[in-house]
Amino acid sequence: MSSLVRFSRAIDSQFRHLGQEATYVDGASRSHPIQVIPRRPDQLFELGEGRIHGERPQLEFRVSEVASPTRGDEIHINGRVYQIEGEPQLDLHHLVWIAPALPNPDP
């Protein structure tokens, strides 16, 4: 078994156990179900001589479920709408998209 197959199986297991059901909506309003893992990594911002602690919401989802996400696409999770605010990046093994996303105040 190749290492890519092993990584793919591990990622699928991770999403089965930690993922949440969501709906992906692209720019053409086509939607389909996906699994996402929301994350809020800590980030420190420097402001003058001080530092501000903040969180930058990110959503992770599998490449096998969304081939080419783009800025402005939406992900609906538990009645909340998140908009992808930046260019999604691939993980090291090109199996997972990591997308910066913010809640949309006007769903």
- From the number of C-beta atoms within 10 Å of its C-beta (0-12, 13-18, 19+), residue 81 rates as middle
- What is the maximum span of the chain, computed from C-alpha positions, in angstroms? 53
pLDDT along the chain (107 residues), means of 10: 86 93 95 93 68 76 96 94 94 94 77
Q: What is the mean pLDDT of the chain?
A: 88
Give residue 54's pLDDT: 60
Give residue 43's pLDDT: 61
Q: Report how far apart, in Å, the C-alpha atoms of 36 and of each of 26, 31, 47, 84, 88 are.
A: 15, 14, 33, 13, 14
Give residue 20's pLDDT: 96
Tens of pLDDT, residue by residue over 57-88, are 899 999 999 999 999 999 999 999 999 999 99
Closest CA to 39 of 9, 19, 25, 23: 19
Domains along the chain with CATH numbers: 3-103 (2.40.10)
What pTM was estimated for this model as a whole?
0.81
